[in-house]
A and B are shown apart, each in its own frame.
Chain A
Amino acid sequence: MEEILNPEVKNNVALHNKKISGELLEQKLEYLKKKEPEFYQLYMGAGIADSFVKMCELMRITLTENQRFVFFLDYDYMLDRASGYRFGNLTPDYRILLTQGLRSMRYGKEKKGEKFCEDYNKIIEGLCRLVNRIIEKLGGEEEEKTEWFQRILEDPAEHFDEAIQRILFVNQMLWQTDHYLVGLGAVDAILYPYYQEDIASGYMSEEKARECLKDFLKTLHQYYWYKSSMLMGDTGQILVLGGTDEDGNYRHNKLTVMLIEIVRELQLPDPKILLRVNRKTPVELLTLALETIATGVGSPLISNDEVIIPALTAFGIPRKDALQYTVSACWEPLIGGRSVSLNNMTTINFMRSLENLFRREQLSRITDFESLVETYLVYLGRNLNAVKRVVRNAQFQYDPVLSMFIEGCRERKKDVSQGGAYYFHAGVTSVALGNVVDSLLNMKELVFDTGKYSLFDVKRMMITDYREEERLLRFLKNRKRQYGTENPEALKLTDRIMRHVTKETEGFRTEYGGRLKFGLSAPTYIDAAKDSFASFDGRHAGEPFAVHISNETSESYTEIINFAADLDYMDNRFNGNVIDFMVNPDFLRNHLAQFAAMLQVGIEKGIFQLQMNVVSSHTLIQAKKNPEDFPHLIVRVWGFSAFFNELPDDYKNMLIERALRNEGKGTAMV
């Protein structure tokens, strides 16, 4: 197991694969059984609080030389066997431990006998023991760090660097207890008071603050392979910067700028940034964001407060909280620190409903386009029943560790799994709406308007993957897609389908009364498509679906911006709606001012979110052929950045296809 303890380990992909396959867990259990039978017994049978205390006593403390901050994980003692749906994709409230010491968080003796309170106190006891062990390990040699940890026990954080250390400590404990996709939250806003005070008092220079932030991000990048969830790079370590204040003005500070500059300088895919913007965001900040994206680092993702805050408040979230929104791992708005809304519980696959229609329906009954769409919506409703079922049946694991860092739990004396947080809604993502809209519009033209084909012909093509219909396939593949353009029919149809999902889901409630929301972005555009039939937009069976809100066949970026801005994201349709651009690096660099202006217009008109892949097809093709020449090439996948070389081939191929299309070079099987 020693290789796993070394954060500088080079063979990230191999280790990640072992983790995903469960091989590491098996190895660990064998190791514990032999070496730590007492912990093994606790781990397999006792409550999570007792196991946690024991873990804090036993886990190895790794101090890395010349590293400004303490951060370590010990894979052998990960608490990853609790039963039920794991909590992840969340951002804890780091301020809870910034504003007080551990011991002042305890419940008093009068709460004895209440299980949650007792477990909560045990978790604090475990953390105190670990802190004392760290102090002991520091051995008095590193005075500053020793003081930071001594103060964690009793007092609030005093300084900027100390506050960063506390954030890292909370973050470390959440990873150590097997939470996945742990977000960082509004780091610029959280740290700014410490920064201001330290600069004003002369405790720290601006340059030192910048160095601290740089080390903070580098430290977070450690254990990248372990933190990665389904794909390398999918760590969920997102910093949410900027925002809107109570008067509707834009708020940001020096740390906002510093953090973006550091991400640009470090050129690491993780951690990543989301920049909240509104119509008053200074053009200089937008330009800095675009310059950073232009380096190819894939970050920041732009998130529009003008649309998101009204959507959150209309959903019933008080404006005070809506103003503080962060996001889950990629893009789904989340009231960080106060919410355990799991925003990615499953995916609505819009294409599945269309496939079901063609397999199951008496197609001869469908005589016009309107009845086709109506029937599609009936099938979509049935699919949504399956989605609701997945959400309804989720049983969450008891989690007093997370409950310590989510507001509401301590006051209500309730665990996050039992409705302790202020918000516990459920979110689902969606995939293939663009493919469905294009398929339906093609059927309108070729079946109902011109009568060239029957619905039975369409069914045969879908199921036989266009066997003996190569000409039609080429025709459909090469024509301009309508989803993501200014075609009013495409917009109207998209809107109609989205509203139907709302109609079918708005009455849904989880066990604790949480509501269901959805959005038009999903990480499943490759996996969900693998067992799909061909579709009538010229997509072969098993080929990936369109990515988020995108259209590589459109000649103009403004067209997609206008399309996305015209969609209505209110009611429950706000669980992440990302425009995803492929942009040639030279093109972006040469048109930076125009892109900034376009972004400003998009923000005013009402786009929801936007992200970009800035890379050429040439670079991607070369990197696939000669990976050793491109060790640091970063691309944007799902809602995160990743090293191109560490992605599976189907992701590489898809990026190449998209880049080729975007450059007007058509498609090429790679």
Chain B
Amino acid sequence: MEENSVIIRKWLENQCDKKYWSDYLQTYHYSTIAIYGCGELGKYMARDLKDTPVKVSCFIDQKAEALRNVMGIPVLTLKDFLSRQNGTDAIIVSVLRADRDILEQVCREDEKMPVMSLRDMIYEL
């Protein structure tokens, strides 16, 4: 919880400095991303990217079956996502407590899929 609040503070700081996720993601040439985790931070990110050149293709979440759809965006399991992908350029991991495990899991399943952690990115904007 404490880490969440640090991230939200940094997020606010970025907003004040007019530093936006969409600009940052475009420096990587990403135009479509998937967000891993549709908790609080994942949803903020999706809202932040709404009406920007960077599209959110889906959320990835272990509870995909129960959630199905959040903010009008489909929720998939990692397995389902990797089998479809639909031109997604990268996965953004918003689950802070397990981002390292998720990175490893994604790499094991599909070594070509770029994956980034929100925890690192927030400082780099």
A residues sitting closer than 8 Å to B (CB atoms) are 352, 356, 359-364, 382-383, 385-386, 389-390, 393, 456, 459-460, 463-464, 531
Contact = CB atoms under 8 A, between A and B. Distances in A.
B82 interface: no
Given A463-B103, A464-B104, A531-B100, A359 B111 contact: no
Interface of B: 13, 28-29, 89-90, 100, 103-104, 107-108, 111-112, 114-117, 120, 123-125
Nearest to A462: B107
Given A356-B120, A382-B124, A386-B123, A456 B100 contact: no
A414 to B, nearest CB: 27
Contact of A385 (B104, B115, B117, B124): B124
Central interface residue in B29, B117, B120, by most chain A CB within 10 Å: B120
B11 to A, nearest CB: 13
A528 to B, nearest CB: 13
Contact of A464 (B89, B108, B114): B108
Nearest to A378: B27
B39 to A, nearest CB: 21
Contacts of A386: 120, 123-124
Contact of B114 (A361, A393, A463): A361
| Most-contacted residue by chain B among A360, A383, A386, A460 (CB, 10 A) | A360
Contacts of A459: 107, 111
Nearest to A393: B13
16 contacts: A352-B120, A356-B116, A356-B120, A359-B103, A359-B114, A361-B114, A362-B29, A363-B112, A383-B124, A385-B124, A386-B124, A389-B123, A463-B103, A463-B108, A464-B104, A464-B108
8 nearest A-B pairs in the assembled complex, by CB-CB distance: A386-B123, A463-B107, A382-B124, A360-B114, A456-B111, A360-B116, A385-B124, A386-B124
Contacts of B125: 385
Contacts, number: 48
Given A359-B103, A360-B90, A360-B116, A460 B124 contact: no
Contacts of B29: 362
Contacts of B107: 359, 459-460, 463-464
Contact of B112 (A356, A364, A383): A364
A345 B107 CA distance: 34
A496 to B, nearest CB: 22
Contacts of A361: 28, 114
Nearest to A389: B123
A362 B110 CA distance: 12
Nearest to B89: A362
By CB atoms of chain B within 10 A, which of A363, A463, A464 has the most? A463
Nearest to A455: B111
Contacts of B104: 463-464
A19 to B, nearest CB: 21
A476 to B, nearest CB: 19
A382 B100 CA distance: 20
A360 B111 CA distance: 11
A579 B50 CA distance: 51
A360 B93 CA distance: 11
Contacts of B90: 360
Given A359-B103, A463-B104, A531-B100, A456 B112 contact: yes
